[in-house]
Structures are given as C-alpha cells and as structure tokens.
C-alpha cells in the first residue's frame, strides 16, 4: 500500500526523471509523479522515452492527459507494464492547449465521461488509479458540484483524489494565474473527506511552511506540494524528517556527491548536463551563498554544451566559503 501522506506534484517542464532522482535523494517515502503525458504522445510518440524512470524513484505515478477511455486504458497498461506504481488522470490543468484537446480541468464538467474513463482503466490494470482535480471550474464552484463529481467518479473505481483547493478559471486566466488568483478553499476539501471517509483525499495548493503542511494531516490523508519544493528542494528534507521521522537525511553536500555519480552515468547515455543540473538551482535556497551557487550553475552547468569536467570541481565551490562559495 502506498503511503500518501506526502507527494510531489506533477509539473510540466519540471518533474522529469532527473528532478525525480534528486527528490529521491531527499525523501525515501514521498510519492513522485511524472509530468503530464498525453495519450497521443504516448501512443504515437517515443513511448520508451516517456515511460523511462530510475528504479530509485518508487513509489512513482504516471500522470496521463486524455479523454478517450480506450486510449487512456492502453496507456495505463503500458505504464503498468513498465513498472509504475499508480496511474493518475489529469482533471485539473486549465491551459488552452489542454482545453482544446478536451481534457484536463475541462473534464470536471463531464463527470460521466471521467467515470467511463476510470471504469475502463481500473478494470484493465491492477495498480491504483487516482485523479488530480480542482474544487470547481468557472461557475461550477460549489461544494455540491464537487461532491457529485467525487461520488460518481469514485463509484467507477477511483479511490484517491488529489484536490487543488482552487477552482480553475478556463477563460481569462493563464495557467500561472490559475495557481494564484482563484482563492484557496481548504475547508471544501476537508468537507469532502468528511463526506467520503473511505476515500484517500489529498490536498494541494499554496503550501510553503512545515507547520502548515503538518496541520493538514488532521483533516485529510495527505498533502501534495509542488513549486515550493522545486524552488527550494532541500525543504523536502525538513518535511521528510518531520512527517516520517526519517533519520540520517543527506546533507546538501552529500546530495551533490550522489548527484555527480548520477550525472556521469547519464552523460554516457547522451543526457545533456544542463538537463540535470538546472534542477539544483534552488538547493541552497535560504542560506548564505545561495546566490553564488545559482550564478555558478547558471554560468557553467545550466547552459547548452556545458563542460562535464566542471562537475568534478563543483564540491570545491561548496566546501570553501573563502572562495565566494556556498557555506553548508
């Protein structure tokens, strides 16, 4: 059974396999999610590339975007065969591209179709199926609307709902604005848990402090965090220690040492250095020297054709504060 107390949100252009590997150096328990992968891309594109992940990433869920029960089921079976631990359906993304494709948050108004998709997927794979959604869309912004959506879809075979505690505004707001402008309504998510105590209800949206995250577990089964972790990855180590009582968490320096070994293996596979190191820009966020760290990475490792030889010297930049470096 998956421990769902903490999970890292799927984020486009962020949660690739390299970022997820970094996350696993900081947490042994949190559930990791891929970026959203559309059914069309998976069926007609390079599915081996889309389904690639490191063994260390378990538990890991794949997030799918689509609206065809047949295509979603085929993709879910592909994911199960590759060893994913969960299939997640995106019913929360408000971007124009996703809307034009007829999936994402748009599907909240098509609960019967969502139920059909879930029913087909859950009847054809053995791993869990979950949904990431919003508390509402546009004028469909009431507890009753959300409750009816959860009721119908859960009866089709979904036991885990990750709910972003903001509604999605499909016309007039960008995806970035949809993450900030619609007000948070945590109480609506708490009420969903009260009404569906047998379901796993995970809350998402606006969590940036440890006490804030811990307090949510009084009301729901878990918390999903996203951009606060991406911009300050080591915050995850603090959460891991507090939520799971994990001891011997790697220091920032130890994380870098392990990541260097990973980088050298990936470079031999043809991976570009900047594709990995860009995820570490915020590793020293909040401590003395973080601006130097970001500048050093930006100038030396987060550029195209970055010199792999400089990876061997990166710890020197960490260890010696007398050289304008980061002090751990």
User: Which of 93, 117, 158, 302 is an active site residue?
Assistant: 93
> Which own/partner pairs from 97-106 qualify as long-range (CB within 8 Å, at least 24 positions apart)?
98/65, 99/170, 101/38, 101/65, 101/66, 101/67, 102/67, 103/38, 103/65, 103/66, 103/67, 104/65, 105/133, 105/134, 105/137, 105/168, 105/170, 106/137, 106/170
* Residue 93 known to be catalytic: yes
Residue 59: cis peptide before it, omega within 30 degrees of 0: yes
Q: How far apart are CA 91 and CA 64, in angstroms?
A: 10
| Residues forming the active site | 93
């Amino acid at each position: 059974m998956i421990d769902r107390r903490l999970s890292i949100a799927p984020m486009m252009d962020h949660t690739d396999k390299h970022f997820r590997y970094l996350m696993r150096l900081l947490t042994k328990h949190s559930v990791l999610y891929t970026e959203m992968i559309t059914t069309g891309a998976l069926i007609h594109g390079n599915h081996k590339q889309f389904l690639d992940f490191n063994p260390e990433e378990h538990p890991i869920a794949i997030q799918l975007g689509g609206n065809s029960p047949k295509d979603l089921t085929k993709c879910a079976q592909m994911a199960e065969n590759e060893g994913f631990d969960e299939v997640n359906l995106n019913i929360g993304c408000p971007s124009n591209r996703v809307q034009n494709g007829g999936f994402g948050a748009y599907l909240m108004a098509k609960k019967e179709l969502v139920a059909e998709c879930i029913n087909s997927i859950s009847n054809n794979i053995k791993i869990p199926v979950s949904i990431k959604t919003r508390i509402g869309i546009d004028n469909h912004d009431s507890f009753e609307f959300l409750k009816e959506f959860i009721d119908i879809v859960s009866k089709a075979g979904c036991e885990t709902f990750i709910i972003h505690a903001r509604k999605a505004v499909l016309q007039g707001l960008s995806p970035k604005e949809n993450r900030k402008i619609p007000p948070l309504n945590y109480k609506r998510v708490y009420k969903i848990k009260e009404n569906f105590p047998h379901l796993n209800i995970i809350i998402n949206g606006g969590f940036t402090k440890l006490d804030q995250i811990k307090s949510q577990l009084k009301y729901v089964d878990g918390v999903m965090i996203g951009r606060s972790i991406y911009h300050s990855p080591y915050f995850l180590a603090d959460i891991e220690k507090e939520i799971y009582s994990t001891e011997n968490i790697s220091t920032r320096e130890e994380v870098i040492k392990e990541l260097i070994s990973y980088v050298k293996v990936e470079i031999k596979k043809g991976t570009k250095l900047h594709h990995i190191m860009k995820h570490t820009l915020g590793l020293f966020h909040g401590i003395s020297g973080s601006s130097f760290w970001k500048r050093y990475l930006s100038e030396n490792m987060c550029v195209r054709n970055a010199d792999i030889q400089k990876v061997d010297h990166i710890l020197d930049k960490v260890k010696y504060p007398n050289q304008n470096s980061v002090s751990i």
